[in-house]
């Protein structure tokens, strides 16, 4: 999970027309919520999110409003209601448009349980009872043991120490790769310290995840994408997971705020396979709606409402190629949970990822701080919507300020990066 360690305001780059305000608006909600939560610990995250949205994402203004004497207000959507979408279901012809009018509404959370509804109304597909039951339990037991030593990520932001509301660790395939992760890769401007070797059960499950995800991708393309063809910038190659973030949510309050997963090492139109074990929790998604240049109105964050996908023990959720660029996702705090016979109050989540050889930091642009850049996409502004860009993320390192580096990112139709200038650290070998 990379998405929450971002923060301080950046200097705007004059080159970043159409992307610059997106960058600011794009500062992760997670961080803003974490700051507000540390200042107002008694308030639920959803209330904080509402207030933040009502103040166009400004932490200062949201905080001022929260300090003011409370006026009675309802928090929207804390308790969702179950609603079947069967009544709306229609068989989808090959090549049907990706962007269907959402069945969800502003301020309302639709709760989806049924795989057909999930495929129809979100950028995801879900497979229930994914692994043989004993394998799922073995994997859960193994990762619960690993999770004993997982830590919350903490980071300094302004004068607050903010910590992620769950624990996690990152697993790769070899000791060499652990070393490379610790020296070459950057996450939000810093290096990972807790990188582990993939465990025996993670190894055992990997080919099953790989086969299922590739099947789901093929099916998604054939049944839902225009012309039955892959999206522009989506890789035509087989999806091969070579790393996994493992998250542990201990109890109903542990969560992860709204974010999209970082594309820096995955490339555009990334697909992610996400296995859920233990306590069932809600995975929420909402579409990011771009705004016109002159539109100074409130953030569109909740304009189409949220969709809640229920993730039971032993389910595989595939986040498809349209997910990270056009949607945000979160695991919301729960009012209550049903304890699981193996894990008690804990939920384990594994996101298997395909790190692409041609997106290795030895190839990607470096900013003037000499840190490999982060890959972002314009989401909030209609101007340049969907365009990718490289920017500095050193401002997240406590002692560094970051620079105004900005460069549009180019890819061929299959999502292979086109780097204009040879990278000084590139030896073009892999």
Ligand X SMILES: O=C(O)CCC(=O)C(=O)O
Rounded distance between C-alpha atoms, residue 35 and residue 30, angstroms: 9
164 binds ligand X (CB under 6 A): no
Q: Which of 291, 329, 340, 356 binds ligand X (CB under 6 A)?
A: 329
261 binds Fe ion (CB under 5 A): yes
Rounded distance between C-alpha atoms, residue 300 and residue 297, angstroms: 8
Q: Quick one: what does residue 327 bind among ligand X, Fe ion, none, with the CB cut-off 5 to 8 Å set by partner type? A: none
Q: Which stretch binds Fe ion (CB under 5 A): 208-216, 258-266, 368-376, 399-407?
A: 258-266
Q: Which stretch binds Fe ion (CB under 5 A): 111-119, 177-185, 255-263, 305-313?
A: 255-263
Please give the span between the terminal C-alpha atoms of the chain, in angstroms, as a whole number: 25
Q: Quick one: what does residue 122 bind among Fe ion, ligand X, none, with the CB cut-off 5 to 8 Å set by partner type? A: none
Q: Between residues 307 and 367, which has the closer beta carbon with respect to ligand X?
A: 307
Q: Which stretch binds Fe ion (CB under 5 A): 83-91, 103-111, 129-137, 260-268?
A: 260-268
Q: Minimum distance from CB of 407 to ligand X (Å)?
A: 25
Q: Quick one: what does residue 117 bind among ligand X, Fe ion, none, with the CB cut-off 5 to 8 Å set by partner type? A: none
Burial class (CB in 10 A: 0-12, 13-18, 19+), 416: middle
Task: List CB contacts of 64: < 8 A, sequence separation 6 or more.
Answer: none
Q: What share of the chain is helix, strand, coil (3-state, %, to 5)?
A: 25, 25, 50
Rounded distance between C-alpha atoms, residue 22 and residue 24, angstroms: 5
274 binds ligand X (CB under 6 A): yes
Q: Minimum distance from CB of 230 to Fe ion (Å)?
A: 22
Q: Between residues 51 and 377, which has the closer beta carbon with respect to ligand X?
A: 377
261: left (phi over 0), alpha (psi -120 to 50) or beta: beta
Q: Which of 23, 331, 378, 392 binds ligand X (CB under 6 A)?
A: 331
Annotate each residue in 230-269 with x if it binds ligand X (CB under 6 A) or - if it does not, as one string.
Answer: ---------------x-x--------x----x--------
Rounded distance between C-alpha atoms, residue 383 and residue 387, angstroms: 9
202 binds ligand X (CB under 6 A): no
Rounded distance between C-alpha atoms, residue 361 and residue 224, angstroms: 33
Task: List CB contacts of 94: < 8 A, sequence separation 6 or more.
Answer: 222, 223, 228
Q: Which of 248, 289, 247, 307 is nearest to 120 (CA)?
A: 307
325 binds Fe ion (CB under 5 A): no
Q: Quick one: what does residue 274 bind among ligand X, Fe ion, none, with the CB cut-off 5 to 8 Å set by partner type? A: ligand X
3-state class (DSSP) for residue 366: strand
Cβ contact 279:187 at 8 Å: no
**What's CA 315's distance to the chain center, in Å?**
18
Q: Between residues 324 and 407, which has the closer beta carbon with respect to Fe ion?
A: 324
Backbone angles phi, psi at 221, to 5 degrees: -60, -45
Q: Quick one: what does residue 283 bind among Fe ion, ligand X, none, with the CB cut-off 5 to 8 Å set by partner type? A: ligand X
Q: Between residues 23 and 260, which has the closer beta carbon with respect to Fe ion?
A: 260
Chain positions contacting Fe ion, by CB under 5 A: 261
Chain positions contacting ligand X, by CB under 6 A: 1, 3, 245, 247, 256, 261, 274, 283, 329, 331, 349, 351
């Amino acid at each position: 999970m990379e998405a929450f360690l971002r923060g301080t305001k950046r200097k705007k780059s004059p080159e970043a027309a159409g992307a610059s305000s997106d960058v600011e608006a794009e500062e992760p909600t997670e961080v803003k919520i974490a700051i507000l939560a540390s200042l107002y610990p008694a308030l639920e995250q959803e209330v904080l999110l509402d207030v933040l949205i009502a103040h166009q994402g400004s932490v200062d203004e949201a905080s001022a409003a929260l300090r003011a004497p409370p006026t009675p207000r309802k928090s929207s959507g804390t308790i969702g209601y179950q609603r079947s979408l069967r009544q709306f279901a229609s068989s989808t012809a090959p090549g049907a448009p990706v962007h269907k009018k959402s069945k969800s509404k502003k301020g309302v959370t639709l709760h989806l349980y049924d795989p057909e509804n999930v495929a129809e109304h979100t950028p995801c597909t879900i497979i229930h009872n994914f692994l043989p039951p004993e394998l799922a339990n073995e994997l859960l037991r193994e990762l619960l043991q690993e999770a004993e030593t997982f830590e919350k990520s903490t980071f300094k932001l302004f004068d607050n120490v903010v910590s992620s509301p769950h624990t996690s660790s990152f697993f790769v395939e070899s000791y060499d790769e652990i070393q490379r992760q610790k020296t070459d890769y950057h996450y939000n401007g810093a290096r990972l310290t807790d990188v582990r070797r993939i465990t025996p059960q993670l190894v055992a499950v990997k080919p099953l995840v790989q086969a299922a995800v590739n099947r789901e991708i093929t099916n998604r393309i054939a049944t839902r994408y225009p012309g039955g063809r892959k999206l522009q910038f989506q890789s035509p190659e087989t999806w091969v997971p070579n790393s996994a973030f493992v998250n542990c949510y201990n109890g109903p309050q542990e969560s992860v705020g709204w974010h999209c997963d970082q594309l820096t090492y995955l490339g555009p139109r990334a697909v992610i396979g996400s296995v859920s074990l233990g306590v069932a929790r809600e995975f929420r998604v909402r579409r990011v709606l771009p705004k016109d240049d002159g539109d100074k109105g409130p953030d569109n964050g909740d304009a189409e409402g949220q969709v809640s996908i229920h993730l039971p023990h032993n389910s595989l959720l595939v986040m498809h190629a349209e997910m990270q660029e056009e949607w945000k996702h979160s695991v919301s705090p729960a009012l209550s949970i049903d304890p699981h016979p193996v894990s008690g109050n804990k939920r384990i989540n594994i996101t298997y990822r395909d790190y692409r050889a041609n997106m290795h930091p030895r190839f990607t642009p470096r900013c003037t701080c000499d840190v490999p850049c982060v890959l972002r996409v314009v989401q909030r502004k209609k101007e340049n919507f969907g365009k990718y860009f490289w920017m500095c993320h050193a401002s997240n390192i406590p002692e560094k300020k970051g620079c105004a580096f900005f460069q549009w990112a180019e890819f061929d139709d299959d999502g292979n990066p086109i780097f204009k200038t040879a990278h000084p650290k590139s030896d073009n070998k892999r």
